[in-house]
Amino acid sequence: MSFLLERLGRDCAPDQFVRELTVNAIQAVQRAGGNGVVAWDHDPVYSRRFGAAKLCIVDTGVGMTGPEMVEYINHLASSAGTQADDGNFGVGAKIAAATRNPAGIVYLSWKRGEGAMVWLWRNPETGQYGLKRLGRGPGEEAYWAPAPPSLKPALIREHGTVVVLLGASESEDTTLPPDGAADDSNRSLWLTRYLNSRFFELPEGVELKAREHWGTPRSRVRPVRGMKHFLDLVSRASGRVRLPDATAHWWILPEEVPQELADRYPSSGHVGALFQGELYELYTGRAGTAKLQSFGIAVGHQRVVLYVEPRVTRRCRVVPNTARTALLVNGRPLPWDEWAERFRENLPPEILALMEEVADGRSARDRTEAFKQRMKGLANLLFIGGNSAENLRRLFALEADPRSRNGKQDGDDVPATARERNAATTRSSAPGSGAEPDEARATPPREGPKRDDSDRDTPLPELDLDRLLELEVVWVSEAECGVVERAARYIPETNTLLINRDFRVFAGYIERWRAKYAGNPAAQREVEDLVREWLEQPLRELVIRSHFLRGTPGWSDEHIRALLSDEALTAVSLPCYLTEMRLRAAVAQRLGKLRPAAA
């Protein structure tokens, strides 16, 4: 059993044992009638015995007798509950907890007022996991002993269980977050944060608690309520979007979350999967930013929480993986890309309004219009290689079929706001997306039957340059951009260019030009807008012109992705001579005789 236990234990996250023991305790409470308490605390007896704080979990569940504990705990596949693919497997605590507590896990349980105890450990002489011999009786009786009243916590009366974690050694403090835990930013609150981020809501009648601020005057046991409680409490808007075989639940957070709540809950934007009241595959930090951007939330994502709940149907079987870190749909990973595409097509108006609010849409639209006017006079230069007719054919070959991916005509059952925002996405295949183009958008093959003269002379459709230049450009903070020390990030799914206003090259430009007009706030705003306009220029051109390389010899989707990578966008932003010359002329034209501040 030890080899299998070690192998399975390596697949578990370092803090996974908290989830497993919590679920076991909740199920024990439910078997006892459905109303009860589950509490994470330190065990005073074993902490004094070993001279180090020992973490424990206490429940007021149904409890177990000595022989029952020997049966359930000493065998890997045994469980006091019902084992099922879509439920708790009954072996998770043994796998996740035992391998991280080779010094031992002490189980103390009371049933009908009678207490018993067993000690699961890794025998240092044999290297085998099993129950420690506690008595002198024959057979299984040697592996359990009566639990003395001094070990019974005040929370337990007639029935309940205590599980004490001794760690890798008897001297280890097991109340500290385990090495490699997902979130140990606040060590005194790590249990509360983990439990809140793991459980969306708790079963009715079950009260979950956890001790905070271990070993300090502030130490106390506080309720743990799960993410639904937090989101319902602070969100300024929320809703649902129906997806293929799933429902997306979304919330918009306020600009600032009270610190007391921020310490105990994930309080910035993130994405996760929701199943049977638990959260799986939580994407936070940079991974959360990228995931939210793929769902069409280009900016403002620090304030959006999105949980996708797959629906269980006859043709859609949803189960957790063995380590219970991810969900599987019909044995396969969750279809995040498909869900993201459908969500983009139906972005809620409240999220669209948030993005407009964060992006300062007015000045951005002005810069976009100025860019279009400049490039309309150079339309023929946008095309790369070949003659203009072939480039025009390539451009219009990229046009999407008017029927959307879900088979409905454009506009059917799609909110107007979402339809307008996603016009670029539904009209054309964005460069670098890696998506397979529809047949109507495929580039004509270079080999095959030659076109006759009449086909070659067929009038080409009039070029809609506005359509070609349709690229959403937004200046955001480095955190919103999701990059560090890079100029920009391109999101092909929404044809959006996020520019990092904190990038030192850009920040230096803006600061230097604003300083020249330090005594005139209005002029400073004008100058900053001009600086952004000309810093955008090469980035816009790179993204737009990449359309005409895609599908040509030597340019695969992988090459296009590299061309539009964060590093490539940074490289195109580094040359300064032409940008500086353009800025000087543009500032002089915009501000006329207004003189800069004296040096």
Q: What is the mean pLDDT of the segment spanning 327-346?
A: 94
Model confidence pLDDT, tens digit, residues 349-375: 999 888 877 765 556 677 778 888 887
| pTM summary value | 0.69
Report yes or no: 369 and 408 within 8 Å, Cβ to Cβ: no
Q: Where in the chain is the domain with CATH 3.30.565.10?
A: 2-219
Concatenated DSSP letters for 307-338? EEEEPPBTTB-EEE-TTSSSEEETTEE--HHH
Q: Which of 299, 289, 269 is CA-nearest to residue 364?
A: 299
Locate tokens 């910035």: which residue? 268
Q: Is 592 helix (H, G, I), strand (E, B) or coil?
A: coil
Q: Is 135 helix (H, G, I), strand (E, B) or coil?
A: coil
Model confidence pLDDT, tens digit, residues 278-315: 999 999 988 998 899 889 887 788 899 999 999 999 89
What's the distance, CA 206 to chain centroid?
A: 28
- The predicted pLDDT at position 465 comes to 61
Regarding beta strands 304-310 and 246-252, do their DSSP bridges make them parallel or antiparallel, or are they unpaired?
antiparallel
Report yes or no: 202 and 189 within 8 Å, Cβ to Cβ: no
Q: What is the mean pLDDT of the segment spanning 112-118?
A: 95
In the predicted model, what is the mean pLDDT of the chain?
81
Locate tokens 């296009």: which residue? 560
Does 69 or 469 have the greater pLDDT score? 69
Locate tokens 């005073």: which residue? 44
- The predicted pLDDT at position 6 comes to 76
Does 360 or 105 have the greater pLDDT score? 105
The CATH class, in words, for 227-352 is alpha beta
- The predicted pLDDT at position 462 comes to 43
- The predicted pLDDT at position 384 comes to 64
Strand extents, DSSP E, 421-487 = 472-476
Report yes or no: 573 and 498 within 8 Å, Cβ to Cβ: no
- The predicted pLDDT at position 598 comes to 52
Q: Is 538 helix (H, G, I), strand (E, B) or coil?
A: helix
Report yes or no: 142 and 134 within 8 Å, Cβ to Cβ: yes
**What are the C-alpha distances in Å from 510 to residues 159, 209, 369, 541, 555?**
68, 50, 21, 21, 35
What's the distance, CA 344 to chain centroid?
A: 16
Taking each continuous run of H as one helix and of E as one strand, the counts in the chain are 24, 20
In angstroms, the CA 511 to CA 525 distance is: 11
C-alpha distance across the termini of the chain, in Å = 78
Which DSSP letter does residue 427 get?
A: H
**What are the C-alpha distances in Å from 91 to residues 8, 167, 216, 264?**
10, 19, 35, 29
- The predicted pLDDT at position 394 comes to 53
Which DSSP letter does residue 282 get?
A: E
Q: Treating both helix axes as pointing N-terminal to C-terminal, what angle do 336-345 and 285-294 enclose, rounded to 10 degrees?
A: 60
In angstroms, the CA 516 to CA 598 distance is: 8
- The predicted pLDDT at position 360 comes to 58
Q: Which of 442, 438, 443 is CA-nearest to residue 401?
A: 438
Band (385; pLDDT cuts 50, 70, 90): low
Report yes or no: 49 and 106 within 8 Å, Cβ to Cβ: no
Tokens of 136: 């002198």
Regarding beta strands 472-476 and 496-500, do their DSSP bridges make them parallel or antiparallel, or are they unpaired?
parallel
Q: Which amino acid is at 40?
A: W
Q: Which of 87, 56, 71 is CA-nearest to residue 160?
A: 56
What's the distance, CA 210 to chain centroid?
A: 25
Model confidence pLDDT, tens digit, residues 140-186: 778 999 999 999 999 999 999 999 999 999 999 999 998 877 665 56
- The predicted pLDDT at position 387 comes to 53
Strand extents, DSSP E, 287-441 = 304-310, 318-320, 327-329, 332-333
CATH architecture of 2-219: 2-Layer Sandwich (3.30)
Q: Where in the chain is the domain with CATH 3.30.230?
A: 227-352
Tokens of 217: 């005057």
Which DSSP letter does residue 555 get?
A: -
